[in-house]
Structure 1
Amino acid sequence: MQPLPPDVPHADPKPLYASRTKIHPRRISGSFRKLKDVMLWGFLALYHLSPWLPWDRGANKPDQAILFDISGKRIYLFNLEIWPHDIYMLTGIMIIAAVGLFMSAALIGRAWCGFACFQTIWTDLFMKVEAFIEGDRNARIRLDHAKRGAKHAIWLMISAFFALSFLWYFGDAANQTRELFSGEIGGWSLVTFLTLMAMTYLMAGFAREQVCFYMCPYGRFQGVMFDEHSKVVTYESWRGESRGKPGKNRDFENRGHCVDCSLCVQVCPTGIDIRDGQQMECIGCALCIDACNDVMEKFGLPKNLISYDSAHNIALRSGAKKVGTLSKFWRPRTFIYGFILLATLGVTSYALHTRDLLEVNIMKDRAPFYVTLSSGQIQNAYTLSILNKSNQTRHYSIDVNATNQPSFQLIGQDDNHIRLESGKVTSLRLLVRGEMPKDAYGTLPLEITLRDPRHHPIKVEETVFNGPK
C-alpha cells in the first residue's frame, strides 16, 4: 500500500463508541403536531380499550372480542377463531403488514416511525409528562441533574398501566385487574407484567431515540425502499442557503431564507439537523416543518422551507430539473407493492372464508389389522378424533362407504348421529364389518363421510379396510 502524499490530510480517527447526548425537544404547535396528538391518543385508546369490547364467547371463556387464549390454544378476533392449524393465516397477516409498511415507505417515507410506531407513541407520551412537570426545553436542561421523583412516579404508573393492558388480551380483563390489585397475580402473568413495565419505563423514559438508532432495523434498510418520488421531510437548500441571522432591515433579497434559528433542531426528537440532508436518524415526524413554518410566517416569507415532499418535486421547484411532472402515486415500485399487497390480502381472505371448520383424524387399529368373525365377515376397528373449530355446537351423522357395502357401528351409541361441542375434540370408536372381495388382495378403499342434518356431505375422509389376501 502506498502512503498518502503529504498534501492529502489524514481523516481524524472516530471513536468506535460515542457517548449519548441527552436530547430535550422543544414544544411546538402546528398541523403536524396536531396530527401526532390525534395519532397518539387514538392509538392509546385503541390499545387500552380493545380488550374491553364485549363479545359472547359462551361458557368458561371471557366475553371479549379480542382474546389470545394460551391454554385453549386459540386466538379470538371478534367472530374469527384462529387455531394452531391456521397458522398460515398469521403468516399472511404478517406479509400484509410488511408489504403495507414497504408501500407506505415508498409513498410517504418513515411516516410510520414518526406517527404510529409504539416506541414513538410511548416516548411522546413520556415527553409530555416531562414537559408538564419540568417545563419546556430550557427548563428541563437546567433541571437535568435535579431529582425529579414526581416525573418518574408518573412514568412508572403509565408503564404499569401499559403492562396491565397487555395482560388483558390474554385473559379476563376484569379478573386480571382484580388479581393485580389484590396481590393474587402470580406465575407467568406476574413475570410478564413486571418485564413489560420495566421495558416501557426504560425504553420510553431513557433509551428513547436510541431504540430507533440501534435496536430497530427499519431505519437501517428504509432507504432501499425510497426513490426520488417518495415523500420525505426535506430542507429546500436551494431556497434556504446561504443561511444567516436576519439583519435589522430583514432584507432577504440577496441571501437565503433560513435565518439559522436552529428551531428545527430544537424540536427534533432525535436531535438531528434536517438541513444536513436526509439522514437515517430522521423518523419523519415533521415537527421541524411546524417550527420552520412559524419562523417563515413571522418574517413574511413563503412557508415550507422544510417540507414533506419528494426529491423529484423539489428538483422541479428549484430548477434543477427543467421538465417533468409532479410525483405520481402509481409508479412501478408502488404498483408492485400494491399488487403483492392485494394478492396476499386476497389469498388470505379466500383461505379464511374457505377454511375447514371440521377436522377429522382417523386412526386404524393395527393390532390386529382385522378380525374374522364367526359369521365369516371381516371386522376392522377405527378411532375417530373429530375437532369442531366453529363457535357453535354441531350435529352430524356418519356414513361408511366401500365397494363391499359394509355395515358399521359406533361404540356406545344407538345410531350414527353425533353431537360435536364447539372447540372440543370428540373421540369415537367405529367398527366396520363386511365381506372381502377376492380381487381386493387384502385391501379395500373405505370412505367415512360426515353429513349435516340435511344429509349434505360436509367432510369425506379416506382410509382402508383390511382383510385376508
Structure 2
Amino acid sequence: KVQAAGQSVGDCVDCNACVAVCPMGIDIRDGQQLECITCALCIDACDGVMDKLGKERGLISYATLSDYNTNMMLATAGGSSSVNPPLVRTADGLFSDKLAHFHIRKIFRPRTYVYMGIWSLIGLGLLFSLLTRDRLELNVLHDRNPQFVTLSDGSIRNGYTVKLLNMIPEPRTLVVTMQGLEGADMVVVGDDIPAGRSFAIPVEPDRLKMLKVFVRQPADQIRAPAQTFKFRVEDRASFESNEYTA
C-alpha cells in the first residue's frame, strides 16, 4: 500500500525473521532496547534475507549511540518524521558513504589508552603481589579454656594450636622452633616427637597442617606472671621462615 501510494519504503520486507530468532522476544526494528543482549542473531537473520533479495547487508548492524543518532538525522533530513531511504542509499542501491559505521579506529581513543594504562597498573600490582607473597605461613592460637595448667611438679603448661600452611605444590619438611621462655620445652600431641625446643614436621603440598602443642616451663624458671616468646617455622631447604609471637 505504501508503494502504491508512491511513497518510498526501506529495505525491510516485514518478514519478522529478526523477531523470530530473538531469544528476548523483542523487535529490534523499534530501536535500542534494554532487553537486548547483543547476541547478533537478528543481524544474521536479516543479512540472510538481504542476500536472498539481492540487497546489501547491514540493515541491522552494531552501532554506537552516536552513530545511530547521526544516521537518523541523515535519514530524516528535511523535517521528515520517518526514514527516507533515498537519503541513505546511492542510486545503485548501496549504502551512502555519509552513513556512520563502526570502525576499529574508534576503539583507539585517548580514553581507551587511559583505561588500558589503569588496568595495566592494576595487573602489574596483582602480579607483584603474587610473586612476593609469603609461601609459608604460621598461625598460633592459644587455648582459652583453660588458659594454663599447673602440673604436679609446679611447672606451668600452656596449650597452643599451631597452623602451618605450605603454599607451594611440593611437599617439604618444616622445622618449628621455640625462641625465648628460658628452660621451656614443647610436646606435640599425637606425634611420636620427643619433647624439646624444636621439632621437624612434614607438610603436604598446598595443605594446612594443624598441630596441638603443649609448652611447659619449670617452676624455677618462671620469671614473671606473663611472659612472651616466639614460635618460628623454617624451611631449611629454601631458607623461608615465619614467626609468631605468643
Q: Normalising to structure 2: TM-score of the pair? A: 0.61
Q: Would you say the 8 A contact 1:293–1:305 is kept in 2?
A: yes
Q: Please give the secondary structure, in 1, of the residue aligned with 2:66.
A: helix
1:417 is aligned, of 199, 204, 216, to 199
Q: Would you say the 8 A contact 1:288–1:306 is kept in 2?
A: yes
Q: Does 1:448 align with 2:227?
A: no
1:353 to partner: Cα distance: 6.7
Note the 1:381-392 alignment, pairs <5 A: 381-390=158-167, 391-392=169-170
Q: Please give the secondary structure, in 1, of the residue aligned with 2:229.
A: strand
Q: Would you say the 8 A contact 2:151–2:157 is kept in 1?
A: no
Higher strand share: 2
Distance in 2, matches of 1:429 and 1:265, equals 70
1:270 is aligned, of 24, 40, 62, to 24
Task: Assess, with a 3 A threshold, how the Cα gap between structure 1 residues 394 and 342 changes in structure 2: closer, same or farther.
Answer: same
Give deviations 1:379-430, integer Å, cap 9, x for gaps: 443333334454543312222222x544423354235333234235442433
Query: Larger Rg: 1 or 2?
Result: 2
2:92 corresponding residue in structure 1: none
Instruction: State how many pairs are aligned.
Output: 209
Q: Does 1:362 align with 2:130?
A: no
Give the residue type in structure 2 aligned to 1:445. T
Task: Assess, with a 3 A threshold, how the Cα gap between structure 1 residues 427 and 258 changes in structure 2: closer, same or farther.
Answer: same
Task: Assess, with a 3 A threshold, how the Cα gap between structure 1 residues 424 and 454 changes in structure 2: closer, same or farther.
Answer: closer
Give deviations 1:279-332, integer Å, cap 9, x for gaps: 23322221221222233334443320110121222334555599x996435575
Q: Please give the secondary structure, in 1, of the residue aligned with 2:46.
A: helix
Q: Please give the secondary structure, in 2, of the residue aligned with 1:362.
A: strand
Q: Would you say the 8 A contact 2:187–2:214 is kept in 1?
A: yes
Consecutive unaligned residues in structure 2, runs of 5 or more: 78-97
Distance in 1, matches of 2:145 and 2:129, equals 39
Note the 1:185-264 alignment, pairs <5 A: 254-264=8-18
2:91 corresponding residue in structure 1: none
Worse-superposed segment, 389-398 or 313-322: 313-322
Q: Please give the secondary structure, in 2, of the residue aligned with 1:306.
A: coil
Q: Does 1:311 align with 2:65?
A: yes
Distance in 1, matches of 2:237 and 2:46, equals 71
Give the residue type in structure 1 aligned to 2:12. C
Give the residue type in structure 1 aligned to 2:193. Q
1:393 is aligned, of 171, 180, 187, to 171
Distance in 1, matches of 2:58 and 2:119, equals 34
Q: Please give the secondary structure, in 2, of the residue aligned with 1:442.
A: coil
1:462 corresponding residue in structure 2: 245
Q: Would you say the 8 A contact 1:394–1:420 is kept in 2?
A: yes
Give deviations 1:197-227, integer Å, cap 9, x for gaps: xxxxxxxxxxxxxxxxxxxxxxxxxxxxxxx
Task: Assess, with a 3 A threshold, how the Cα gap between structure 1 residues 253 and 302 changes in structure 2: closer, same or farther.
Answer: farther
Consecutive unaligned residues in structure 1, runs of 5 or more: 1-243, 464-469
Task: Assess, with a 3 A threshold, how the Cα gap between structure 1 residues 456 and 413 changes in structure 2: closer, same or farther.
Answer: same
1:246 to partner: Cα distance: 7.4
Distance in 2, matches of 1:291 and 1:270, equals 15
1:292 corresponding residue in structure 2: 46
Give the residue type in structure 2 aligned to 1:430. F
Q: Normalising to structure 1: TM-score of the pair? A: 0.36
1:366 to partner: Cα distance: 5.9
Give the residue type in structure 2 aligned to 1:386. K
Q: Would you say the 8 A contact 1:449–1:459 is kept in 2?
A: yes
Distance in 2, matches of 1:348 and 1:245, equals 63
Identity of aligned residues (%): 24
Q: Does 1:430 align with 2:214?
A: yes
Task: Assess, with a 3 A threshold, how the Cα gap between structure 1 residues 319 and 299 changes in structure 2: closer, same or farther.
Answer: same
Q: Please give the secondary structure, in 2, of the residue aligned with 1:282.
A: coil
> What do you get for the CA RMSD once the two structures are aligned?
4.4
